[in-house]
Structure 1
């Protein structure tokens, strides 16, 4: 068996690249700069399902993503969440929040309708992410640019 991305995540995101443990995804909702980390492990739905070493690596990668996304966006707050109520595959959301965003200070879940990136905005965001993660992706490159 090999790692496969849950179909809902595949439908809602763009693959950015792979860190040592996690696939990095960009949520296709231009209202919020929003990355998702998915450990490339089979049949994992909770953090405790991961081996201890992978748990530690997940939090290291999560901290890296949060710090880099915060620096890129200059957000007011970084929200992290691992809900899994709709998609059982373990995934951790990293959402850059602004006091001026459409739902501040409320959670983003179930608020309004996603606004997909335009092709130009998607390409620009992926270029920005590529620069942000230079040297961190195991493939050495972003996958969608």
Structure 2
């Protein structure tokens, strides 16, 4: 059995926030939007239907948990959830908080401009706040 290993591109573009029951929770290092990534810690999974039915249920639960916490934390107008996988085939879900008037609102975040990495202090603050919102206590 192969061990789970995070895709190189996800590792480069994101910062670890914490471990949920199924997923590695990560923050996209782009300060234009509060943007989280859920990566099921299962080797060789590309599509949602590649997960077991129990893991599919866990992913749905964890997505809802993260989306609700993020929306409340940043006072978002809308939460976008998506799984594209065209650039990174490893199954991962994007959970993105959007606000009216944010960059490219109401259009998609993908392919819009260049990423604006968080300043080190802001990155540390943001990951701590997300961790507390999603996994209190």
CA distance in 2 between partners of 1:127 and 1:55 (Å): 27
Q: Which residue does the alignment assign to 1:143? A: none
Q: Which residue does the alignment assign to 1:30? A: 31
Which sections of structure 1, spanning at least 5 residues, go unmatched?
141-145
- C-alpha displacement of 1:117: 0.2
Q: Which residue does the alignment assign to 2:106? A: 105
Which sections of structure 2, spanning at least 5 residues, go unmatched?
none
Q: How many residues align?
A: 136
Does structure 1 conserve the Cα–Cα contact (< 8 Å) formed by 2:17 and 2:128?
Answer: no
User: Which runs of at least 4 in structure 1 moved beyond 2 Å after TM superposition?
Assistant: none
Task: Give the alignment's TM-score, normalised by structure 2.
Answer: 0.96
CA distance in 1 between partners of 2:17 and 2:119 (Å): 16
Task: Give the alignment's TM-score, normalised by structure 1.
Answer: 0.91
**1:76-91 alignment runs, 5 A limit:** 76-91=77-92
**1:27-66 alignment runs, 5 A limit:** 27-66=28-67
Q: Which residue does the alignment assign to 2:123? A: 122
Secondary structure in 2 matching 1:24: strand
- C-alpha displacement of 1:126: 1.3
RMSD, aligned CA: 1.0
